[in-house]
Structure formats: C-alpha cells, structure tokens
Structure 1
Amino acid sequence: MTTDFSRVPGAPVSADISSLVRLHTALRAVNYTYEGVASLLGDRAFEAMTRDQLTPGIYRLNQVLGYEKTASTFSLGEKSLAQVVRFFLMGQVLESAELEAALGAGLCDLLVELGLAESAASGSLQASVDLRPHAADDGTELYVASDLGAHQRPGVLRKDHVLGIGHASLTLAQFTERTPLERALDLGTGCGIQTFHLLAHARHVTATDISERALAFTRFNLLLNAPALEIDPQKLEDRVSLLHGSLLEPVAGQSFDLVVSNPPFVITPRSSGETPADQFTYRDGGMAGDGIVSTLVRQLPEVLNPGGRAQMLGNWEIPVAGPGEQADWSARPRDWVGQEAEAWFIQREVLAPEQYAETWLRDASENRDPAHYEQAYTDYLRDFAARGVDAIGFGMIWLRRPNLQAAGERLHRFEEITYPIQQPIASFITEAVAHYDAVTALDDEALLAQHLVVAGDVTEERHLSPGSEHPSLILLRAGAGLRRTILETTETSGFVSACDGELSVGQIVNALATLLDWQDASPQQELISNIRELLEKSFLRLEQGD
C-alpha cells in the first residue's frame, strides 16, 4: 500500500525539501564526493574501507588532522573533509564545534533534525546513519544513507537493519541491463541503490520493500539526490512509486519491462513461534531453505510484459548426491523455471554448510555473543542436514517472459563461472542474448549460408608434448564478457581458423569434408552442432549485415 515515508521512527526524515538541499550543498562544499574521499584516504586505506576495515583510514585521517606525525601538509579544506569522513564513514564521535567548523554553522542541529546524528555526550555528536558518496558507472555522483554497519557500531545488528552499498548490490547493478524502457520494478529496494541506477534508463520506477524503514531511507536518498537523478522533489511520484509489502503483493495487477531484485535470499533456520520481528529483514525472507528465490523465479515472469526481463541475485541448495552420483547444482533451479519463462543462471560461488553458517552469522555480528553463536551455528547444521543439503550455491539469475512472436529458441542456460569476469557485465549479457536469439532463429540451411567472423577478444591456445607434431589439447578462450573457455576438436579448430567473413559456413564445412574425407553425414552434423555452440556463446559472430 502507499504510505507517507517522510517520517518513520528510526529513519532519516525527508519531510522538508529545503533542509535536504541545505545538507547537499554543505556536503558538496567540503568535497565529500567519491573521488574526494578516495583521494584523501589514498588507495590502500580506501580499499581497506571497502572491506570494512577502518583502521588504515582512521590512521590516515589522524595524519591529515595532525594527530599523527607526517611529513605532509594539508589544507583547511582537506581537514574539513577529514572530519566529515571521520563522522559518517568511521563512526567516530566528534565535538559539535569540530563538525560545524567543517560543514558550517547550524549544521549540527540540521543533522539531528534529519535523523542523521544523535547526542553522544555533552557538546558532541555521533552519526546515527552511514551517509556516504557513491559514483555510479555513468559518473553520476550520489549520497546514500543506510544503517551503520557492524564495523561502525557495537553489538548485533538491529532486525530491521537497512543495508548500504555492498558487494552484492554492486554486483546486481553491474549485472542489470541498461536499455531504455518505460516501467521498472525494484523489488526489495533497501536503501534504494538499484532504483537510483534504474532512473538513468527507466521513465518510471516502482520500489517495494517489506520494511517501512527501508522505504524511508530510499525516499530520503531520492530527495537528497533529486537534481542528479533528474527528479522534481515536489513531484516524486512522477518518477518513483514507493510501495510497502511483501514480494509481489504491492504490485498485484501491474506489469513491467524490467524487474531487478537483491532479495532477502539468505537461507536461515526456521523455528516454531518465529515472528517477523525475529528475522533480519534485509537478508531473511522468512521461508524455509531457498524458498524465497524459488518463489520469485516462478512468479516474476507473471509481472513482466512480453519480452520483459528480470535480473536478480540468489542462493540455491545443492542436495547430497546418491551413491556413485555427482551432485547437480542446477537440478533445483531447473525445476523452478516454468515452460512459459526463459532463464540463465550463472553460479558464481559454492559454500559448504559450515562456511555458509559462518559467513551469515558474522554478517549480522552474531558471533559477538559466544553462546548465541554456538546455538545458531548448530541450528544451521541441523537445518541443512534435515533437508539433505550438501552445499549452497550463489549467483546471478536472468529471466525473460518470451515474446510470442520471437523466432528463436527459448533460452535455458545453467553454467558455473567462479573466476573473475568482465565488470560491468550487463552490456555483454544484452548483446549475448540478442546474438543467441538471432542464431537460434536460423535453421541448418540458413546457418550454412551465413558468413562468420571470430569475436575480437577470442584467442586459441594449443598444448603440445615436447617433440609432438600435433597438439594434444586445443582451447578457445574469450577474453571479455564471461571469459569462457571451450575445448576444441581438430575439425572445430580448422573451421574457426577459416572464419574471416569471406567464405560461408557451408563452403568451409564442405572444404573440411573433402580434406578429411568424411564418408557420411555424422561428422558434418557434429561440426554444425559445435558451430552453434560457438555462436550461441559468442566465440563466433554473425557478420554484420547478415
């Protein structure tokens, strides 16, 4: 349902636009920008901060402020910036006079009024939120408010913690396709980071969340960054709708061209008598096992327009394999994808149950209470054992509602890629899907008439034993995109080497058939199948104009 999120207890206040303008102006005046902070801290301290390690940054700021000896000298502007970084990013208590000297007279009162700061002791303040600069891939400079992290405050995180910009949110932003469109849905918006990116290419964005605090953070961030996001703060609803509710309930009856979601996918043991207040809303969907992800994979196509797409992150359980069998990580995800949808799952990481439990217990600082940690860890192990879970996979999920007029085959691809890939990957995904659609629309006769070229990032690697005349192994490697490697046959290698756009596929295949003295059609059919794989995975390209 639609609610006023300008004043929600425990969240930043966004009722007064002029106050947000004043804050934005003060932050910009002190060069509190992504580049400004990175330059002030230096590469190593800034990189450490991205790993939630604050000590190198604090040491550097103490040098800037003269608390640590250094041969360098710093300007008054750098010292003012250092105080703001100490306050918002390092979680340090500052004297009100120090903060006002940096940001300007009256700013301390403003920060308290906006819910960004609270009294720590007589005459001093501490940040009540993390407010940090963020630079989008297109260069847009933003400020993003979220709850303070475990590295900035003591104790276990609050259950309704609003997560800030992290590795997962940046991964999703880099995975999201950026084609211009009318309507987009950010499901589980959190602090709103995906909505900010969507506004660059979507006319209207609907942002939903089960947490009213999260929606209040999103509204604050949208209005604080209104000029950069090209939003009229007096008419926010023209560009963004903020809706409260679970999963797809708030958008029942609506449809979208694109859905993005970093859902609360963390697998958490359920307990009898559990209530939503017992759950970490930013990560826990309240369903058993990987139910939140399976539900979304099944239901998201229903809110997509024909040809519409969804990109999301998720976990999936990998069951224990039977005797003599090898576990198939994709078995469960395949079952989730209905006949009326297309899917591309890319598994990026696999964790054992023990590793998984340790990761997420640390994430919420639950390891700070030894007794609770031991009990929660045991609950995880019992939960996974009860359902026969051998491992947990994590990765990226691409979905599409098919366009009934499309001529190509429906895409159902499940692959594991655990090594580094091109980032951002979105443009490659968009191009790869378009190429897949074009290639699968060709029957064998049409394929044989095409002229192909090798993609510009592709190289061939041959392995020979010392003294051997012929290679024992031929690999084709893609240097961009998903950076796949394919094992080639001698025939496939010969075909690829002739793909310079001059000869058609049929001409090259016929030449190989004569050279290798094929006696029947089976080698040709095998080669055509291999050619299709190379095309569908973008090692080979249809020559432009064909």
Structure 2
Amino acid sequence: MTSSTTPAEASASDTPGPDTPVSEWPDLLRALAQDLAAVGYTVDAVARLLGPEAHAALSRDQPVPALVTTRTAGEDPVREPLGAVVRFFLLAQPLQAAALDAVLPGIRSDGLVALGLAEETHDGAGLAASVDLRPYAWDAGDGEIGIWVASDLAAHQRAGVLRTDHVLGIGHASATLVQTTARRPVERALDLGTGCGIQTFHLLGHARHVVATDISDRALAFTRFNLLLNAAALGIDPAHPEDRFELRKGSLLDPVAGETFDLVVSNPPFVITPRTEGESPDGQFTYRDGGLPGDELVARLAAGIGGVLAEGGTAQMLGNWEVRRGHAWHERVRSWVPEGIDAWVLEREEVGPGQYAETWLADASQQRDPRAYHDAYAAYLADFAARDTAAIGFGAIWLRRPAAGQARLDRFEQLTHPLEQPIGPHWLAAVERADWLAAHPDLGAERLVVAEDVTEERHQRPGAEHPGVILLRQGAGFRRTNLMSTELAGFVSACDGELTAGQIASALAALLERDDDGFRKGLLADAANLVADGFLGPHDGATRNREKSA
C-alpha cells in the first residue's frame, strides 16, 4: 500500500489505534527511516554521544547522566541533531515542533503525530514522544544489521505504574532468548508471544516465512510498525509483507493449531503471579502475566509445543519453574516433556520467593504505591507457600521432534556461571555432536581431537609425586569444567587425530596393565561424554569448525 497523503492530511484522516504507532502510511515510514539514518541514530553513535558512563547508566534505566550530557541539544537541537533525537525518543524530553522539524525534516513533527509517535504536552508548549523509539543492531554473520524499535515508554520515561497492556521493549529476557536461539536456515518459523517483535527480526534472517503471535492487539500493532519501518533492512517488500511474515492474535498455540514449523521461539509471559478470586484479565500485565496459577503457563507450553514441530523441528523458550521443597529442580520440568520429544533444559538462576516478589513488583513500578506493594508482596509469599515452593528457577528450554537418525536427548543441567554469548551457535554445535555420536556408536573406530579452546589444569600438594586434581576447562561456549582421572587425562592428551580412540584406549590399558575389557569400555564411555560436552570432537573438524566460527 502506498499513499501520497501529506502528514497533515494523515493526521486528520487516520487516527492512531489504541495508543499504538500507525503502520498504514508507507510514505511516512520511509521518511522517518531516512531521517533517522541521516541524523545517525545508531547504537554506536548514541554510545559515542553519551559516553561510557552515561550510556551504561541508561542501560540501567537511569537517565540523569544522559540528560546532563545532552543538555546542549535540548537548548539548541539544530547544532546537535542526534542529541535532540536521543532526548526526545530515549529520554522522553519534550521538544518544540520547530526543533523536531529541523532535525527530522522529512517526517517533520506533524508526521510524527500522524504515526502516533508524538503528542502535544499537557501545557501545549511542545511535543512529547508517545513511544520509546531506539536503535538496535546485531551481527548477522556477513555484516551488521541496524534497525529502530518502537515500544511503550518505560517506568523511567513516564510517571506512574505501567499500564497493564504495556508493550515491553528490548529487555533482558528477550535479549537472552536472541542469544540462546540455535539458528539454522528454515522454511517456517513461529515467534510465539512476539511483544514488540524482536525475535521475529532475527528469525527473518534465516527463515523464509515467520508467523508471529500475541494475545495483545497493542503488541501486534507495535510489531507490524517495527517490521514495516525497517522493511529494507529486514528483507520485506512493503507492498507484499505477507510473503515474509504474518501476525496472528491468540493465546499460546491456539493461533497455529494444526500447523507445523521448523523452528519455534518463545519468550512467553512466564512470570509467576498470585491469582485472586474474580480477577479480570484487564488487571494483568499482559507482557509478563499469562493469567494462570504458578508455572502452569510454561508447563502447558512445554507440553504442547511439540505438537506444532515438524519432523526434526526445534523449539526454544524461556521460562520460570517452581522448585518444590525436598525435590530436585529438574523433576517438575522433566514431567512436562511428552513422550517422543527431545529435551535439553538449562537452569541459569534460582531465587527464593521473597527475592522473586521484589523483582517483579519493582519491574512494574508497583513500589510507588506503598500500601499496594505491601499487599502484593504478602500475596506472593502466600501463593508460593500454598504450593510448598522453596525456590523459583529461570532458564532456557530446548525441545525437538527428532527425525530418523538423530540422537535422543534428555538433558537437564544447572549452569549458573557466565556462558559465552551468543550461546546459540554453541548449543547448535552441541546438538550436532550428539547426533554425530548417535550416528557413530562405535567410538573406538573414530579419530578424535581436542577442541581449540580447551586447557588442562593440574593441582598437587608440594612435594607430591602425582597431581591430586586434574581439570579440563573450556574457554568458550558453555565453559564447562570436567574433573579428570589420570587415565582419562592421558587419553585426552593422545587425541591428536593420529590414532583411533580404540587404539588409544588399548595402549593405555597395556601401559597400565589393565587389559580387562571393562577398562577400555569405561574409558570410551568417558570419551563420549567429552565429545558430547565439546572437549573432544571428530577429526574431520566439521563440528569444531562450526563452534570455532561462532
């Protein structure tokens, strides 16, 4: 759809939806993109403008240093146009219409109003941003992709408690899912619970077509605006956007019932929230609260998502789960996974009920009402106590409907130390190693090599003849540490691709005078675990090279 309507005509003839940006004016979207590019509104340029301290503070939702740094731009935006744009869209500082016209001459102030991005201040003295519009960029392998992303103004940009249908911007959880996703070329992908669209932006780089769903009309409106504003960068034809993406409204898997996808990603509203009798969905924060008791929403999604996976298809999602008193953290999560579906779950963090309540009450600025904060905090504690919940875990869930010849994975691990980011390529490499092991059951016939990021540490008491502790450490990827026996350390040191694993095991058995078959089998089983974890790899280097290039 194209239009020759002027911004003034657009403002009069096309009223924005329920406080969301308007995406029906391609000429205005094009003008806005050109103006933002011309002023240099990029991630790197904003970081240079603000400087390290102010930029870091803003990432913590503390705008004061950035306000001080850009004060001149507020006084004279013509001399510092980038600073004026930063103050307007990132710091939510009003500007005169004439100042906006000067720094954004293509879209101008009336065009911003027409697109629902600006509105008159209460005193009528200028215009204020009605959305947060910020630059965002990522490395696509063959170069960086830079776009602009609109979302609702956050708590540090506006007064009061967030609206319940708040559309979140690029937050910690969404960035975590971006980094965690194991990316590969696919035909069809699903972004379940799209929010402002961040997962869809990335999926379009390796999926021919993306379906994005959300229960919120406002979220879908923001996503559509962001996709069409950045059509050129995302490979979308504005005249035929349906060729690349489709937006659907609905809860969980309802909008895609009966369909299958090669890849599903989801940052669902997983926050565990106390339920109250007679509560209305209008009182729930839709960006984080799925409206179900406890961790039931994540449980339902984990149990049902395999039904929309094509053969060999994978799903990756974030979630919270309750850890019952006296039970291991993974017991409950494992019970969600249906028969025939592979699972690999990483728990990255565990917190107590009190800390969990504090985190999410602060997230929506609910501490600004002391009485309501007290009542809500108490409700959290009572809710967790009713289910005997000792802790709440957070992490990433990977699921697969395995195809013929692929490994069967049932792996639940707690890794709370820092991982290399993005971890997605390393996760993909790990799954490929598991499939390689399934296709090569006789590891003794294979030649293995040590991964390039692996180092060995030996610790021994002063004067001791042999080390008491031998550790194998990864410097990349999952950054695991493996405690080694002397025999296994000797095996690894001989893995240079010259001898087969069976030959090395047999040589060690002879050297140590352990000629029983059990010793050899045990050593090869330990070696298989090292391959699965990425300490060792096949000599052909296919998996190693993929992980190295990550």
- TM-score, scaled relative to structure 2: 0.93
In 2, Cα distance between equivalents of 1:232 and 1:7: 23
Equivalent residue letter for 2:423: I
1:396 aligns with 2:396: yes
- For 2:182, the equivalent position in structure 1 comes to 177
1:300 aligns with 2:305: yes
For 1:482 and 1:424, locate their aligned partners in 2 and report how far apart those are by CA, in whole Å.
Answer: 10
2:38 to 20, 29, 33: 29
- Among 447, 450, 456, the alignment partner of 1:460 is 456
- Structure 2 residue 499 is the aligned partner of structure 1 residue 511: no
Indicate whether 1:61 and 2:63 are aligned: no
**Contact 2:16–2:115 (CA under 8 A) maintained in structure 1:** no
Q: How does 1:347-366 map to 2 (within 5 A)?
A: 347-366=347-366
Distance of aligned partners of 1:109 and 1:545 in 2 relative to their CA distance in 1, 3 Å threshold = closer
- Aligned equivalent of 2:102: 101
Counterpart-to-counterpart distance in 2, 1:58 and 1:464: 55
Task: Output the CA distance in 2 between the equivalents of 1:410 and 1:18.
Answer: 51
Which position in structure 2 is the counterpart of 1:227?
A: 232
Tell whether the 8 Å contact from 1:294 to 1:336 is kept in structure 2 after alignment.
Answer: yes
The one-character-per-residue Cα deviations of 1:90-110 (angstroms, maximum 9, x if unpaired) are 111222222222222761111
**Are 1:279 and 2:284 matched, yes or no?**
yes
Counterpart in the other structure of 2:138: 136
Please give the residue correspondences for 1:124-523 in structure 2 after superposition, counting only pairs within 5 Å: 124-138=126-140, 139-321=144-326, 327-403=327-403, 405-406=404-405, 408-443=406-441, 446-518=442-514, 520-523=516-519
Give 3-state SS (helix, strand or coil) of 2:233's partner.
coil
Opposite residue 395 of structure 1, the aligned amino acid is G
Per mean C-alpha deviation after superposition, the further-off stretch among 513-522 and 455-464 is 513-522
Kindly tell me: are residues 173 and 106 of structure 1, through their superposed partners in 2, closer, same or farther at Cα, counting changes over 3 Å?
Answer: closer
CA distance in 2, matches of 1:530, 1:481: 20
Contact 2:214–2:250 (8 Å) recurs in 1: yes
How big is each residue's C-alpha offset from its partner over 1:75-127, in whole Å with a ceiling of 9 and x where there is no partner?
956x1111110011011122222222222276111111111111112231111
- Structure 1 residues not aligned, in runs of 5+: 68-74, 322-326
Q: 2:10 aligns to what? A: none
Cα 1:461–1:106 change in 2 (3 A) is closer
**Structure 1 range deviating more: 155-164 or 41-50:** 41-50
Q: Deviations over 1:443-497 (max 9, x none)?
A: 2xx2111111001100011111111111111111011110001111111101001
Q: Secondary structure at the match of 1:205?
A: strand
Q: Quick check: 1:82 aligned with 2:87?
A: no
Q: Note if contact 1:6-1:14 (Cα within 8 Å) is conserved in structure 2.
A: no
Matched position secondary structure for 1:330: helix
**Aligned partners of 2:489 and 2:308: how far apart in 1?**
44
Q: Is structure 2 residue 50 aligned with structure 1 residue 41?
A: yes
Q: Does 2:18 correspond to 1:17?
A: no
Q: Aligned-pair distance for 1:524? A: 2.5
Distance 2:517 2:311 in 1: 39
Give SS of 1:288's match. coil
Q: Secondary structure at the match of 1:234?
A: coil
Given the superposition, is the C-alpha separation of residues 64 and 20 from structure 1 closer, same or farther in structure 2, using an over 3 Å criterion? closer
Task: Look up the match of 1:114.
Answer: 115
Task: Tell me the distance in 2 between the aligned counterparts of 1:545 and 1:203.
Answer: 29
1:6–1:216 contact (8 Å) kept in structure 2: no
Q: Is the 8 A contact 1:6 1:220 kept in 2?
A: no
Please say if residues 180 and 423 of structure 2, whose CA atoms lie closer than 8 Å, have aligned partners that are also in contact: yes
- Tell me the CA shift for residue 63 of structure 1: 5.2
Structure 1 letter corresponding to 2:484:
E
1:400-430 deviation digits (Å, cap 9, x = unpaired): 1111x21x43011111111111111111111
Deviation readout 1:483-534 (Å, 9 max, x if unpaired): 0011111111010011011111111111111111225333333222211110
Q: Secondary structure at the match of 2:139?
A: coil
8 Å Cα contact 2:231/2:238 also seen in 1: yes
Name the aligned partner's letter for residue 210 of structure 1: I
Distance 2:57 2:203 in 1: 29
Q: What one-letter code is carried by the residue in structure 2 that aligns with 1:331?
A: E
| 1: CA distance, partners of 2:51 / 2:107 | 31
- Match for 2:469: what amino acid? L
Please give the per-residue CA displacement for 1:58-84, whole angstroms capped at 9, x wherever unaligned.
1111255679xxxxxxx956x111111
Q: Deviation per CA, 1:363-405, whole angstroms, max 9, x where unpaired?
A: 00011100000000000000000000000110111111111x2
Seen in structure 2, the aligned counterparts of structure 1 residues 160 and 507 have a Cα distance that, compared at 3 Å, is same
Any unmatched runs of 5+ in structure 2? 1-13, 543-550
8 Å contact 2:78–2:99 — kept in the other structure?
A: no
Aligned length: 525
Aligned equivalents of 2:482, 2:78: Cα separation in 1: 57
| SS across alignment from 2:329 | coil
Is 519-528 or 447-456 further displaced after alignment?
Answer: 519-528
SS of alignment partner, residue 191 of structure 1: coil
- Percentage of pairs with the same residue: 56
SS of equivalent to 1:37: helix
Contact persistence 1:8–1:212 (CA under 8 A): no
Say which SS state the counterpart of residue 33 (structure 2) adopts.
helix
Q: What secondary structure sits across from 2:202 in the alignment?
A: helix
Given that 2:31 and 2:107 are in contact with CA atoms closer than 8 Å, whether structure 1 keeps it comes out as no
Distance 1:265 1:211 in 2: 15
Contact 1:134–1:143 (Cα < 8 Å) also in 2: yes
- RMSD, aligned α-carbons: 1.7
